[in-house]
Structure 1
Amino acid sequence: MEVAMKAMDALKSLRETRLSAFRSPTEFFDFTRVSKPESFNVATQRITYNTRYFSGNYVIIIAMLSVYAVIMNPLLLISVGLLVGGFIGINKWAPEPMQVGDHTVTQKHLYTGLFVVGIPLLFFASPFATVFWILGASGVLVLGHAALLEPGIESEYASVEESV
């Protein structure tokens, strides 16, 4: 129960900090402001401004890419589900040692069995390749969008507000 409360608090703080900066899709996909940056300096300035300004939108994009990557790798989905479900099942239904025939089965034995099955299955599901795909795809999308989109007129006033 305590873990659920912590997760809810974390989601609430994420919503208040990152998703409060969510911009409308018409502003995010404003094709009239798309242009090639004149230099690397201009691209860096655009990336710096746009990543802060559209941070909520970028978090949503990265989350959608993560969900897509996990759904498209069913072995990873099964192995993570097996490990998480195994932990939950062992904690819920086997807190005490049980007698099976002549053997006493403890939580330690059950966790060992779960690891013997789950870790090789997770290894074959290539989680590192999935993580690197998410990093690469989100990097290309976020940095590409941020570099190509000219900051709006409000960016001129942002530097004035910071200096005051």
Structure 2
Amino acid sequence: METAARAIDTIKSFRETRLSALRPPSEFFDPNRVSRPADLNQAVSRISYNTRYFSGNYGLIIAVLANYEPAVAPIPRLLIGGFSAINKWAPEPMQVGDHIVTQKSLYTGLFVIGLPLLWWASPLGTFFWLVGASGVLIFAHASMIEPGVESEYAAVQDEV
């Protein structure tokens, strides 16, 4: 019971911290605020401000890209699903034709299928794809969107 309460508290704190940082799509995709930065200093200034201001939206972009990438999602789900299926439906050895199938042989089969798939999915390449794709999208958006009027007062609030 204590674990359920802790999980609910974690979800509430996640909703209060991360989901409250989400900006509406009309603000995130505002075409009136799109402009090319004049120089590198202005681009860095915009990136610095916008990555903090739109942090919730950028986190959502990373989550969508991580779920989009076909190599990331299926392999861990296959392995986790295989473990849970073996534990749920085959706790005892069973007779299949003339053979006795044990949990050990099912786990061996899962590894024989799952590990080559994991190698084929190239998790390191997928990780760098995710970092590169999200970095390009986030930096491009953050450098092209002009900070709103509230950005002028951000420095004043930090000093107070």
**TM-score, length basis structure 1:** 0.78
**Partners of 2:21 and 2:56 within 8 A in 1:** yes
| Partner residue in 2 for 1:129 | 125
Structure 2 residues not aligned, in runs of 5+: none
| Partner residue in 2 for 1:46 | 46
Q: How many residues matched?
A: 158
**Partners of 2:33 and 2:146 within 8 A in 1:** yes
Alpha-carbon distance between aligned partners in 1 of 2:33 and 2:20, rounded to the nearest angstrom: 23
What are the within-5 Å matches in structure 2 for residues 68-107 of structure 1? 68-70=68-70, 73=71, 77-95=73-91, 98=93, 105=102, 107=103
Which digits, 9 at most, give the CA deviation of each residue in 1:10-59, with x for residues without a partner? 54433221221111111111122222222222212211110111111111
Which digits, 9 at most, give the CA deviation of each residue in 1:129-152, with x for residues without a partner? 322222111111111100111110
| Partner residue in 2 for 1:149 | 145
- Per-residue deviation, 1:9: 5.5
- Per-residue deviation, 1:8: 6.1
Alpha-carbon distance between aligned partners in 1 of 2:30 and 2:135, rounded to the nearest angstrom: 20
With over 3 angstroms needed to count, the CA separation of the structure-2 counterparts of 1:92 and 1:132, relative to structure 1, is same
With over 3 angstroms needed to count, the CA separation of the structure-2 counterparts of 1:69 and 1:78, relative to structure 1, is closer
The one-letter code sitting in structure 2 at the alignment partner of 1:134 is L
What are the within-5 Å matches in structure 2 for residues 98-117 of structure 1? 98=93, 105=102, 107-117=103-113
Structure 1 residues not aligned, in runs of 5+: none
The root-mean-square deviation of aligned C-alpha atoms, in Å, is 3.0
- Per-residue deviation, 1:104: 8.1
| Partner residue in 2 for 1:24 | 24
The one-letter code sitting in structure 2 at the alignment partner of 1:154 is E
Which digits, 9 at most, give the CA deviation of each residue in 1:107-158, with x for residues without a partner? 5554333222201112112333322222111111111100111110001111
- Per-residue deviation, 1:93: 3.2
The one-letter code sitting in structure 1 at the alignment partner of 2:20 is S
Identical aligned pairs, as a percentage?
58
Alpha-carbon distance between aligned partners in 1 of 2:53 and 2:94, rounded to the nearest angstrom: 60
Question: In the alignment, is residue 160 of structure 1 matched against residue 150 of structure 2?
Answer: no
